[in-house]
Amino acid sequence: MHIVFAASECVPFAKTGGLADVVGALPPHLVKLGHEVTVYLPLYARVRPHIKGEWKYAARSITIPFTYYNRFVGVVDGGKRDGVQYYFVDCPELFDRQELYGIRGGDYPDNAERFGLFCRAVLEATKLLGVPQVFHVHDWQTALIPIYLRTVYAADPMLNHAGVVLTIHNAGYQGKFPPSTTEQLLFPWDLFTLDKVEQFNDFNFLKGGLVYSDVLTTVSRKYAEEIQTAEFGERLDSVLRGRAADLRGILNGVDYAQWDPATDGNLAAHYTPENLAGKQECRADLLHAFGLEKVAASTPVIGIVSRFATQKGFDLVEQIAAKLSDRDVAVVALGSGEPVYEKFFRDWAFWNKGNVAAQIRYDDALAHKIEAGADMFLMPSKYEPCGLNQIYSLKYGTVPVVRATGGLDDTIEEWNAEQGTGTGFKFYGYEAADLLAAIDRALDAFQNKKAWKRLMRNGMARNYSWEQPAREYAAVYEEVARRRVS
Ligand code: ADP
Ligand code: GLC
């Protein structure tokens, strides 16, 4: 079967979060199952260095109409990697920018036009380069594909048999734009109603995608349940409940070719569950990278790697920061995003030199070093559709301390010292005291070296590779394709 992925992020070309890891890893696994997969991505400034030699255009000038003007986009052939065909949608005036979505935590003011153009360009490009049986689109940035497909393009004989699967990686980001977007993107005004794209007087990209896709998936079973409730649904819960029969939870896999301490090229030393010695070297290397060389060998190190967004729960960490600084523990944090959290981490490190250190930026190599060198990994998320870092942590023998929500709840099992079972520490209420209690349980457990090793190895033995989820997605595509022809 031919599947077209349209996404706003994809490793190794452009990444701000886990979406890029998923869109980078799932397609090659589908190819292994015998499917043909094409991935479309905007040609951002950071994609340019990945295009080697002279650019080869698969299409030179596709016309994308707007209310009073046209834009003309090219499609650059990114070639095949691991059997997957990549195409980059070239529209320099919209995509040749420093960032993907906006600068300093804000959004570019023309994001509706940027991703509207991208979605329409993908549909037009497939008519030249191959219409798939199924489009697999991801989050609000590509949610206009199903909307276009079932409205403006509904009568197109080349496209109207194609099915659409929309994966919700994060319901907290919906792509909300003013009503005038309807006209700007040349949709008929009758689309702007509450049963279609309108949501609280916004043109809501994600909502339209939920209405018009054949099947919806999200990235863990727990989150599939949660988003149907008012607490987690981000005001789309009633729409999601309405589509419950077509909503699936498929837990993300992780790419062990990139994330395995036995082979990871970013580490000072390698290690395996059988021989953990290299982890000590990784810890020393990590402490050096953060200027924390004086931390005692007996002191546990907590690692954090994250987008600094409200979703990630760092307001809870802020509430317990003073208490944590009094305990025998070191903290290393890597992240960037909302200024309030950047400031909190900078200040926390400033007042606790020698024990707490933070690097406010995006740094893939350092993220790997933290996974390997820390003893514990902290994710106190308010909500977490899947979360990849806790799954990486398991593989690296770095014990996760997480809030029991979404994929964190699905992947981490509470440590049971009597039985020697479990992989980490979980807390339930979104409360600072509950977070502190979970960290205290972890710090306690760390004192018993033998038990701690058992706990590390329990996590390292878990397998979250892509084989199983890739098969689940393939089954969804088959189902959608069957529905479309019948
Ligand atoms: P989300 O997609 O919500 O950000 P995930 O846990 O699914 O959360 O994925 C985050 C991904 O982004 C991981 O691969 C993580 O290592 C990476 N990441 C996040 N922040 C940084 C950073 N500052 N530097 C390097 N990698 C980061
Ligand atoms: C989103 C979610 C994260 C998930 C990732 C990949 O960014 O916040 O939990 O792991 O998408 O699906």
Q: Quick check: is 359 in a domain?
A: yes
Do 40 and 126 fall within a single domain? yes
Largest CA distance in the chain: 70
For residue 257, what are the CA distances in angstroms to 78, 90, 262, 458? 22, 30, 10, 20
Nearest ligand to the C-alpha atom of residue 379? 1
Note whether 248 and 281 are same-domain residues. Answer: no
The verdict on 417 and 472 lying in the same domain is no
Residues 297 and 417 in one domain: yes
Q: Residues near 315 by Cβ (< 8 Å), separated by ≥ 6?
A: none
Q: What is the DSSP letter of 10?
A: B
301 with 198, same domain? no
Ligand 2 atom having least distance to the Cα of 381: 9
Do both 372 and 335 map to the same domain?
Answer: yes
Whether residue 333 is found in the same domain as residue 199: no
Tokens of 129: 């380069």
Residues 473 and 450 in one domain: no
Q: Are 26 and 468 in contact (CB under 8 A)?
A: no
**316 found inside a domain:** yes
DSSP string of 396-463, one letter each residue:
TT-EEEEESSHHHHHH--B-BTTTTB-SBEEE-SS-HHHHHHHHHHHHHHHT-HHHHHHHHHHHHT--
Looking at the structure of the chain, the number of domains it has is 2
Is residue 402 in some structural domain?
Answer: yes
Ligand number nearest CA of 138 is: 2
Beta carbons of 373 and 285 less than 8 angstroms apart: yes
Shared domain for 117 and 171, answered yes or no, is yes
Residue 448 belongs to what domain range? 277-460
Per-residue model confidence as pLDDT tens digits over 383-432: 999 999 999 999 999 999 999 999 999 999 999 999 999 999 999 999 99
pLDDT of amino acid 478? 98
Measured distance CA(486)–CA(482) in Å, rounded: 6
Query: Could you list the pLDDT tens digit for every one of the 486 residues in the chain?
Result: 999 999 999 999 999 999 999 999 999 999 999 999 999 999 999 999 999 999 999 999 999 999 999 999 999 999 999 999 999 999 999 999 999 999 877 899 999 999 999 999 999 999 999 999 999 999 999 999 999 999 999 999 999 999 999 999 999 999 999 999 999 999 999 999 999 999 999 999 999 999 999 999 999 999 999 999 999 999 999 999 999 999 999 999 999 999 999 999 999 999 999 999 999 999 999 999 999 999 999 999 999 999 999 999 999 999 999 999 999 999 999 999 999 999 999 999 999 999 999 999 999 999 999 999 999 999 999 999 999 999 999 999 999 999 999 999 999 999 999 999 999 999 999 999 999 999 999 999 999 999 999 999 999 999 999 999 999 999 999 999 999 886
Helix (H, G, I), strand (E, B) or coil at 75: strand
Please give the angle made by the CA atoms of 2, 209 and 175, to the nearest 5 degrees: 120
Cα(372)–Cα(363) distance, integer angstroms: 15
> Same domain for 429 and 479?
no
Is pTM, for the whole model, over 0.85?
Answer: yes
400 neighbors 394 (Cβ within 8 angstroms): yes
Confidence at residue 106, expressed as pLDDT on a 0 to 100 scale: 84
Structure tokens at 393: 């942590």
- Residue whose CA is at the smallest distance from ligand 2 atom 11: 169
In a domain, 268, yes or no: no
Residue 391 lies in a domain: yes
Residue 356 domain-assigned (yes or no): yes
| pLDDT, position 486 | 66
For the CA of 379, the nearest atom of ligand 1 = 6
* Domain co-membership, 111 together with 226: yes
Q: Give residue 312 CA to ligand 1 midpoint distance, Å.
A: 11
Q: Which of 359, 374, 380, 369 is nearest to 431 (CA)?
A: 380
Q: What is the DSSP letter of 313?
A: -
CB 323 within 8 A of CB 436: yes
Decide the pairing of beta strands 70-81 and 84-90: antiparallel
User: How many C-alpha atoms does 235 have within 13 Å on its Cβ side?
Assistant: 11
pLDDT at 105: 72
Alpha carbon of 16 to ligand 1 centroid (Å): 7
H/E element holding 199?
A: strand 198-199
Do 361 and 240 fall within a single domain? no
CA of 309 to the centre of ligand 1 (A): 11
Are the C-beta atoms of residues 391 and 367 closer than 8 Å to each other?
no
Kindly give the interhelix angle for 364-373 and 277-289, rounded to the nearest 10 degrees: 130
Sheet strands (E) in 293-340: 301-308, 330-337
Query: Tokens standing for 101?
Result: 């979505």
Residue whose Cα lies nearest atom 22 of ligand 1: it is 362
Ligand 2 nearest atom to the CA of residue 219, by list position = 12
Q: Which residues line the pocket of ligand 2, CB cutoff 6 A?
A: 17-19, 22, 169-170, 219, 252, 384-388, 407
Query: Which residues have CB under 8 Å from 246's CB, separation 6+?
Result: 213, 214, 215, 216
Alpha carbon distance 150, 87 (integer Å): 23
Is residue 307 domain-resident?
Answer: yes
What CATH number has the domain bearing residue 90? Answer: 3.40.50.2000
Contact 306 CB / ligand 1 (< 6 Å): yes
Contact 175, 115 (CB under 8 A): yes
